[in-house]
A = this chain, B = another copy of it.
Amino acid sequence: MAPSSDTSAQALLPNGLRDLLPPDAFSLTRASGRLMAVFAAHGYERVEPPLIEFEESLFSGAGHSASANSFRVMDPISRRMMGLRQDMTPQVARIAASRLRDAPRPLRLAYGGTVLRVQGTQLRPDRQTTQVGFELVGQNGTEALGEVVLVALDALEQLDIGPVTLDLVCPALVPALCEAAGLDPVTAERVREALGQKDLKAVETLVPAGQAAVFTALARAMGPVERAVEVLESLALPAQAAVHRDALLDMARRVLAFIGSGNVTVDPFEFRGFEYKTGPAFSFFARGARGELGRGGAYVNSFGGVNEPCCGVSLYLETLVEITGRSPECPRILVDPATSLAGRRALQDKGFVTVTSPGAPLDGDEARRLNCARWLSPEGDIRDASPPPVCGQAS
């Protein structure tokens, strides 16, 4: 069922939007189901917020950064503007802080659904993607962070994508160092950008002589987690930076205790996309994937002024499915259209997908035409569809 090329202007979709055809649409659903099943087994219960909400709620708190890149629709009934969600985590935060405000903490919520953005990225031009994740509401300390990492890795393991690398980050660490160094906000931002690009030379030109040493020392913590732990432990840091360093160290040790050191790295300078993460955070990577598989970390849910500690993980389903092994398809069998439901179910119970072809002959040729490896004869025998004729021409 390969897609055919299509020249009809009517059938053209907007850039960044696409139809998923068989078997890709099935793969996406199956992967989502597997991830959600793992979240559920660890106590994360599903919530389903609507796809559109009033701007005021969708873009408040953690949702603020999504505002510029989100579609808007006018609600002709309330005459207020609504936004199409670009990220489900602010919605889950809203639910936790409002409708589930009185539910016992820690509150564990899972979610999965379509998100839309006005413009994709160069690496990921899709404007519609599927976000799947879970949030632990009420805690964001080391134990809570360790749990969300554990659950995410457990879920990723179900997808048959090979080894996953976990990259630990701490987006608040560099800003704390800059503040302790007395850098003005503009210079601090430049230093952060330079460090994000691992450009230590640029940092040396930006900060006064003698103050670059701490950044150079921190750079040695970049890489495999064991060495990173050693380096981070040995650093003498200003008070607030030391608090963040200690939180990162705690998470690193927790992760090591849970999953061993095989595929864990540390990047003390990474911050992009972690803008609302207040504590340690992390990303998942795997060989062959276009960009990261997902990310998570500690933050504070400020919805409605509550300021509740939280941590959670979001996974990017399309990225995951691209590197997920295809499952073997069920064999298809052609049956007579008059076959009863009981007769079809008996074949389905044997692992077959039953297919009919009303008005067509029931034979091997017809079976093959409909991509069926077998057909059920009028006598009730399961027969092989004859192999396709040998093609004499090289194509």
Give chain A's interface residues, CB within 8 Å of chain B.
1, 3-4, 6, 8-26, 28-29, 33, 36, 40-43, 45-54, 56-57, 60, 71-73, 75-78, 80, 82, 84, 91, 94-95, 97-104, 106, 108-109, 112-114, 116, 118-119, 128, 139, 141, 143-144, 146-147, 150, 153-154, 257-259, 303-304, 330, 332, 337-338, 340-341, 344-345, 348, 353-359, 369-371
Cβ contacts under 8 Å, A344 to chain B: 41-42
Cβ contacts under 8 Å, A48 to chain B: 19-20, 24-25, 28-29
Chain B residue nearest in CB terms to A101:
B4
Which of A48, A354, A371 has the most chain B CB within a 10 Å cutoff? A48
Check A99/B4 contact, CB under 8 A, given A73-B72, A143-B358: yes
When the two chains form their complex, are residues A10 and B56 in contact, meaning their CB atoms are under 8 A apart? yes
Within the complex, which residue of B25, B45, B100 is in contact with A4, where a contact is CB–CB below 8 Å? B100
- Contact residues of A: prevailing secondary structure: mixed
20 residue pairs A–B, Cβ–Cβ below 8 Å: A1-B103, A6-B101, A10-B60, A10-B98, A10-B303, A11-B98, A14-B77, A19-B48, A20-B46, A22-B46, A41-B344, A41-B354, A43-B355, A52-B116, A72-B73, A73-B73, A143-B358, A143-B359, A147-B356, A258-B340
Cβ contacts under 8 Å, A141 to chain B: 358-359
When the two chains form their complex, are residues B19 and A108 in contact, meaning their CB atoms are under 8 A apart? no
Give the top 9 A-B pairs by smallest Cβ distance, nearest first. A11-B98, A143-B358, A22-B45, A20-B48, A25-B48, A43-B355, A17-B50, A25-B46, A4-B102
When the two chains form their complex, are residues B358 and A147 in contact, meaning their CB atoms are under 8 A apart? yes
When the two chains form their complex, are residues B50 and A128 in contact, meaning their CB atoms are under 8 A apart? yes
Which of A99, A128, A332 has the most chain B CB within a 10 Å cutoff? A99
Chain B residue nearest in CB terms to A75:
B14
Cβ contacts under 8 Å, A52 to chain B: 14, 17, 71, 116, 128
Cα distance A9–B98 in the bound complex, in angstroms = 10
Cα distance A270–B318 in the bound complex, in angstroms = 43
Chain B residue nearest in CB terms to A354:
B42
Cα distance A73–B357 in the bound complex, in angstroms = 41
Cα distance A6–B82 in the bound complex, in angstroms = 20
When the two chains form their complex, are residues A21 and B47 in contact, meaning their CB atoms are under 8 A apart? yes
Seed contacts A24-B48, A51-B114; 9 additional CB < 8 Å A-B pairs: A1-B100, A6-B98, A8-B304, A25-B46, A43-B356, A71-B73, A73-B84, A108-B355, A143-B356
Cα distance A18–B50 in the bound complex, in angstroms = 6
Cβ contacts under 8 Å, A348 to chain B: 41
